[in-house]
Amino acid sequence: MFTDEYFMKIALAEAEAAFVLGEIPVGALIVSGHKIIAKGRNSTEALVDVTAHAEMLAITAAAEAIGGKYLRNCTLYVTLEPCIMCAGALYWSQISKVVIGAADEKRGYRNAGVQLHPKTEVTSGIFEKECGEIVKEFFRLRRI
């Protein structure tokens, strides 16, 4: 029941909520022991803060939830590949696993040559189509 797909659907719901609010539709959640300890969605417009990415908000909330800055034994589910800023924060958090929905060819950390912590496991492509389509639709509507 508690599969990567199960948790990615919840992250996708966060992205959909961001979409409705006029934010770039990225959703994230952090899980520890099959329990969601933090959620985040892009909130850069609402918070007037360029660092208010879904991952950053989830990392902060998760650290608060566990009472420490290291997210060992935690998994981040994120609908879009993290940018280099978020990858840096994930590196320093020492998160155990990152599960990515869709790749971000333009601003993703992998094409920028950035690495996550050596002990961080990465899985990609969970609901890749759905996670990628919501971002494409968001920008398509803005170009009309």
Where in the sequence numbering do the catalytic residues fall?
A: 55
Strand ranges in 42-120 using DSSP code E only, listed in sequence order: 74-80, 97-102
CB 8 within 8 A of CB 17: no
CA-to-CA separations, 102 to 68, 106, 123, 139, in angstroms, rounded? 29, 12, 11, 15
- How far apart are alpha carbons 137 and 69 in whole angstroms? 35
**What token pair was written down for 134?**
């919501």
Alpha helix ranges (H) inside 1-83: 4-20, 44-47, 54-66
**What token pair was written down for 131?**
């996670």
